Amino acid sequence: MEEIYKELVAIVGERYVSNQPEEKFIYSRDPGTMEPSEPDFAVMPASTEEVRELMLLANRKKIPVVPMGGGLVLSGLSRPLKGGIVVDMKRMNHVLEVNEKSRYAIVEAGTSQGMLQAYLKKHHPSLKHSVPDAPPIATVGGNVLIHGSGHLSHAAGFHSEMLNGIEAVLPTGEIVRVGSCSTSPYWFSRAPLPDLAGLFLGWAGTTGIATKLAIKLFPNRALNDVAIFVVEDAELAPDIIHRITGVGLAEDVTAWMAPKPDWAEGFIHVNINYSADSKDELAWKKNLLRSPLKKYMDAKTGGFMMLPPPMKKPFLEAPASQLTRFADVRKGGGFEYVGAIMPVELFPKAHQAGLDIAARCGTTYSTGARILGMGHCMMFFYAYPFNRADAADVKRAQTALEETNRAALDMGGIPWKAEAPAQKHIIKRMDKHTFELMNRIRGILDPNGIMNPGNWEAD
């Protein structure tokens, strides 16, 4: 180990390697409920070349490598389940290029969502990217590679769908480029080439380390607004979502259900976020977005919430810090959620499952959904807070999460950014040949099995 330490120091410099108990402690865990698992080293490279050298070393010595961005995925995906090197990517945090006309940005993978957001605001105020509601130190790489979603997901789908190209280092040390950037100086799209981006999307860091990404940017309009449609009967939600998304004018459509504040209990709230360049355009969009819901307003089965400006503020914030604040509901610094990707028509079932599980496990809940694309699917989330200082409470949340993962699979959904145990449940249901293909691909890319081992593995 001492010899490896020295080699790591030779690659990234002494300041950026640690094998000390303090770093081993912190890099063994994330803010979710998964058990800690210690790395042997935490390392922070500053360039693609350094990442390449790290990979060559790890591959030669057959040491596990676990990429980490913000470490905020909550499901423990950057815990080194079999020890080895945690590669903290946040020193690679530069915005490399913004192409205004073709609306894309090229960033280093460890660039935080917040830094990109601030950079665009300052240098390219007419553009924005789709911001996830994760805390702003979450990285672009970590988020895109797990198929994240955010404030423009109704307009443009998963963040992985907004990906134009990737530069990645393979476990065997080759630097590859995927997308137009493999062939052209422009990172404009993944078409028209065979799409190799899938080799890195959804794999939880088991196929390589992304070092650069190009993502799509969108017009940043001057005026932003939100309307909230409220309905009691969950059975109506799929049609309501269908109608809103059918208009095609919103940027983000999210639903939320929570027992607190008191006025919210028992209702389904559908937030419709939209923006415009002028007041007239905003009013026009507002009317158009309201009109397909007239049926429910006339029948008095649903209606728009009165929203004075101060009440709108938290719903317009990107990222929404109130989601993070959920961690203190039990005065205990923790929450984790299952986000299950599923068709919109499963909304009522998904909602009921959340209520049942929370009641059974004796835990508070907060559920909701972000609609992807024009209602093409949704990320239905079940969040459970826990008190980190109370082992029984953590266990309670863990049980609720496990149950939720199973329930989501049972109803036809698929847990997103699944914890290692939930990945095993997914694998059990997965078409056998698909899983074999995954393993064959992994075997080619990573012959020594060094990349984030313990993930996407059957029992």
Partner 1 sequence: MEHSEILHRCFRCGYCKLPSSYADLNCPSYLNFRFETYSPGGRMWLLRAWLDGEIKTSPRFAEILYSCATCANCVEQCVFPKFKDDILNAFIAGREELVATGAVPPAVRDYFKSIHLYGNPYKMPEADRGKWADGLGLEPYSRHEYLFYVGCVGSFDERGQRMARSVAGLLKNMGISFGILGAEEFCDGNDVKAMGEMGLFDHIAQKNIRKYQDLGVQKIVTLSPHAYHAFRNEYPELGGNFDVCHYSQLLAPLIKKARFKKSESPIRVTLHDPCYLGRHNKEYRAPRKILAAVPGVQLKEMDRAEKDALCCGGGGGNLFTEMLGGGPDSPARVRAREAAATGAQVLAVACPGCSRMLDDAVKAEALQDDLEVMDLAEFVNRRLAVD
Ligand X SMILES: Cc1cc2nc3c(=O)[nH]c(=O)nc-3n(C[C@H](O)[C@H](O)[C@H](O)COP(=O)(O)OP(=O)(O)OC[C@H]3O[C@@H](n4cnc5c(N)ncnc54)[C@H](O)[C@@H]3O)c2cc1C
Q: Which does 139 bind (CB under 5 to 8 A by kind): ligand X, partner 1, none?
A: ligand X
Is there binding between residue 77 and ligand X (CB under 6 A)? yes
Is there binding between residue 205 and ligand X (CB under 6 A)? yes
Tell me the closest approach of the beta carbon of residue 18 to ligand X, in angstroms. 17
Whose Cβ is closer to partner 1: residue 115's or residue 409's?
115
Q: Which does 67 bind (CB under 5 to 8 A by kind): ligand X, partner 1, none?
A: ligand X
* Closest C-alpha to 167, from 146, 137, 197, 193: 197
CA 75 to chain centre: 11
Radius of gyration of the chain (CA): 22
3-state helix/strand/coil string of 190-236: CCCCCCCHHHCCCCCCCCCEEEEEEEECEECCCEEEEEEEEECCHHH
| Element (DSSP H or E) covering residue 355 | helix 347-361
Tell me how many residues contact partner 1 (CB under 8 A).
45
Q: Alpha helix locations (H) across 47-123?
A: 48-61, 113-123
Tell me how many residues contact ligand X (CB under 6 A).
34
Of positions 4, 27, 366, 397, contacts partner 1 by CB under 8 A: 27
What single-letter amino acid sits at 197? A
Find out whether the peptide bond into 453 is cis, omega within 30 degrees of 0. Answer: no
Is there binding between residue 387 and partner 1 (CB under 8 A)? yes
What single-letter amino acid sits at 103? R
Contacts to ligand X from residues 46-75, by CB under 6 A: 66-74
Is there binding between residue 378 and ligand X (CB under 6 A)? no
Q: Which stretch binds ligand X (CB under 6 A): 20-28, 114-122, 133-141, 392-400?
A: 133-141
Find out whether the peptide bond into 64 is cis, omega within 30 degrees of 0. Answer: no
Is there binding between residue 12 and ligand X (CB under 6 A)? no
Q: Give the Cα separation of 318 and 124 in Å (integer).
A: 17
Of positions 126, 278, 301, 321, contacts partner 1 by CB under 8 A: 321
Of positions 117, 182, 220, 399, contacts partner 1 by CB under 8 A: 117
Residues β-bridged to residue 256: 269, 368
Q: Which stretch binds ligand X (CB under 6 A): 8-16, 95-103, 131-139, 349-357?
A: 131-139
Is there binding between residue 273 and ligand X (CB under 6 A)? no
Is there binding between residue 247 and partner 1 (CB under 8 A)? no
Tell me the closest approach of the beta carbon of residue 314 to partner 1, in angstroms. 11
Q: Give the Cα separation of 295 and 303 in Å (integer).
A: 10
Contacts to partner 1 from residues 31-90, by CB under 8 A: 31, 42, 44, 70-72, 88, 90
| Element (DSSP H or E) covering residue 339 | strand 333-342
Contacts to ligand X from residues 85-104, by CB under 6 A: 89
User: Degrees (nearest 5) of the Cα angle 93, 442, 194?
Assistant: 75
Is there binding between residue 236 and ligand X (CB under 6 A)? no
Q: Give the Cα separation of 80 and 421 in Å (integer).
A: 14
Of positions 141, 171, 385, 454, contacts ligand X by CB under 6 A: 141
Positions of E strands within 122-189: 127-128, 163-169, 175-179
Is there binding between residue 313 and partner 1 (CB under 8 A)? no
Tell me the closest approach of the beta carbon of residue 176 to partner 1, in angstroms. 27
Task: State whether residue 331 is helix, strand or coil.
Answer: coil
CA distances from 42 to 62, 64, 74, 227, 411 (A): 16, 12, 19, 45, 40
Contact set with partner 1 (CB under 8 A): 15-16, 18, 20-23, 25-27, 30-31, 42, 44, 70-72, 88, 90-91, 112-115, 117-119, 121-122, 135-137, 321, 324-325, 327-328, 331-335, 387-389
Contact set with ligand X (CB under 6 A): 66-74, 77-78, 89, 109, 132-135, 138-139, 141-143, 145-146, 148-150, 204-205, 209-210, 323-324, 452
